[in-house]
Amino acid sequence: MAVDLLLGLQWGDEGKGKIVDVLTSNYNIIARFQGGPNAGHTLEFDGIKHVLRTIPSGIFHEESINVIGNGVVIDPVVFVKELEGLDKYNLDYKKNLIISRKAHIILPTHRLLDAASEASKGKAKIGSTLKGIGPTYMDKTGRNGIRIGDLELENWQDKYRALANKHEAMIDFYNVDVQYDLADLEAEFFAAVETLKRLTFIDSEEYLHQAQKNGKTILAEGAQGSLLDIDFGTYPFVTSSNTTAAGACTGLGVAPNKVNEVFGIFKAYTTRVGSGPFPTELFDETGLKMAKIGNEFGAVTGRPRRCGWLDLVALKYAVQVNGVTQLMMMKGDVLSGFPKLKVCTAYNYKGEQINHLPYNIEAENVTPIYTEMEGWKEDLTEMTEVSQFPKALNAYIDFLEKELEVPIKIVSVGPDRKQTIHR
């Protein structure tokens, strides 16, 4: 069987967790392919609201297997807390959750290096979640990393010590004020590793190849969003992994010709946490209203998310880079009550009108050009089918479909699993 992909098309937090949970009943396996505990994927159902970090969003479905792929970076400390948070639901992790031996491990010193690097950048900081993501991927590509499979070796702690010592020297080199007590951090880390070792470690690429051969259905779950991709995002204000479709191939060992549907998720407007350019950002009452109604606060750091109008130039770019075959529009309910809606359909780039995402989208180069549309007043959150949609919402959706040339198959009208309308 082929593999379907689900990806965020903006700067993250599009609602990936919710949709993976909605779609899980169609799949045997849910597999996360990149990122780590910088992600916060929110699921809401039956009065439960739960945020997942590294664990795939299919975990609440007993019959599905959740794979953490080789492209993911795992912090044992965060991971064990995540497991503890799930304890009350009596899930069978030994059976339903399996981890790639090739996934890299975030060490306590990776988190410290993240903090030192950000402190040294001053105003130019990335706005990282400070979970150690960048330093861990640097050690991966630098061929110094420690992997889950290493935990099965007798001498892995020697390797750990050598790497941690090197990190301490690097932290000194930054010459910034990062206070820490490594002994405390290590005690917590080694205890967490022991808990982690009770789970099942596998050669996940082989597992997924066999699953495909045996006709199992697989959904690959992305973290972050396309505009945070290390290659195609708004560099350097990005994360350190490939968040786009290609990342699912390298992060799971899925061959490109085995990819079937690519589900692209976007909010009906745009948000971003952390630093970096954001052409359609709103600095006025309208932006504050979006943030308030949309409850736009980071699921991991609690930081307020910056808000702005939908940017079709950026969205088209993400659709192309990923080869999106079906779109899902989230948080349409948040836009109820805005008299007029704006959609950015082109950029004024250094005095010239363009329709593609240029190398640099900093405010001094780019001014968005908007198409204005009628808003709708109706509350969407109780709606259950497309026939109930106000005319203006249908016009908004039709306009986006025409511009993006991909069908919008799901419209989400609230955070709950049930507030999902199929078109």
Looking at the annotation, which residues are catalytic? 13, 41, 140
53 binds, among Mg ion, ligand GDP, ligand IMO, none (CB under 5 to 8 A by kind): none
Binding residue per annotation — 44?
no
Backbone angles phi, psi at 152, to 5 degrees: -85, -5
Residue 211: strand, helix, or coil: helix
299 is a contact residue toward Mg ion (CB under 5 A): yes
Q: How far is the CB of 248 from ligand IMO (least distance, A)?
A: 14
Binder to ligand IMO among 20, 116, 196, 273 (CB under 6 A)? 273
Residues numbered 289-328 forming contacts with ligand IMO, rule: CB under 6 A: 299
Which entry of ligand IMO, ligand GDP, Mg ion, none binds 134, CB below 5 to 8 A by partner kind? ligand IMO
Which among 219, 241, 213 has a CA at the least distance from the CA of 228?
A: 241
Nearest approach, Cβ of residue 411 and Mg ion (Å): 20
**51 near Mg ion, rule: CB under 5 A:** no
Residue owning tokens 């419209």: 411
Q: What is the dihedral of CA 190, 191, 192, 197, to 10 degrees?
A: 90
Is 239 annotated for ligand binding? yes
246 binds Mg ion (CB under 5 A): no
Give the binding site for ligand GDP (CB under 6 A). Answer: 8, 12-18, 39-42, 44, 299, 330-331, 333-334, 412-415
Known binding residue 17? Answer is yes
Question: 273 near 267, Cβ under 8 Å?
Answer: no
Q: Which run of H or of E encompasses 244?
A: none
The reply, when asked if residue 216 is annotated as ligand binding, is: no
Measured distance CA(368)–CA(384) in Å, rounded: 34
User: Between 299 and 395, whose beta carbon lies closer to Mg ion?
Assistant: 299
Query: How many angstroms separate the CA atoms of 334 and 244, rounded?
Result: 26
The site string for ligand IMO over 92-131 (x = CB under 6 A, - otherwise) reads ----------------------------------xxxx-x
Residue 118, contacted partner among ligand IMO, ligand GDP, Mg ion, none, CB below 5-8 A by kind: none
By the rule CB under 5 A, 416 interacts with Mg ion: no
Q: In angstroms, what is the minimal distance from the CB of 392 to ligand GDP?
A: 17
Residue 193 backbone phi and psi in degrees, to 5:
-60, -40
Least distance from C-beta 231 to ligand GDP, angstroms?
20
Distance from C-alpha of 220 to C-alpha of 249, rounded to nearest angstrom: 10
Strands in 33-159 per DSSP E: 41-45, 48-52, 65-68, 73-74, 97-100, 104-105
222 labelled as ligand-binding?
A: no
Inter-residue contact 30 to 64 (CB < 8 Å): yes
Q: Which stretch binds ligand IMO (CB under 6 A): 8-16, 150-158, 283-291, 334-342?
A: 8-16
134 scored as a contact of ligand IMO (CB under 6 A): yes
Distance separating alpha carbons of residues 415 and 19, to the nearest angstrom: 10
Structure tokens at 146: 């420690």
The annotation status of 101 as a binding-site residue, yes or no, is no
Least distance from ligand IMO to the Cβ atom of residue 39, Å: 3
Residues 6+ apart with CB under 8 A from 35: 72, 73, 133, 222, 223, 224, 239, 241, 243
Does the bond joining 236 to the residue before it have cis omega, within 30 degrees of 0?
yes
Helix %, strand %, coil % of the chain (to 5): 40, 25, 40
412 assigned to a ligand binding site = yes
Kindly list the residues in this chain that would bind Mg ion in the complex (CB under 5 A): 13, 40, 299
Binding-site positions read 12-18, 38-42, 129, 143, 224, 239, 299-305, 331-333, 412-414
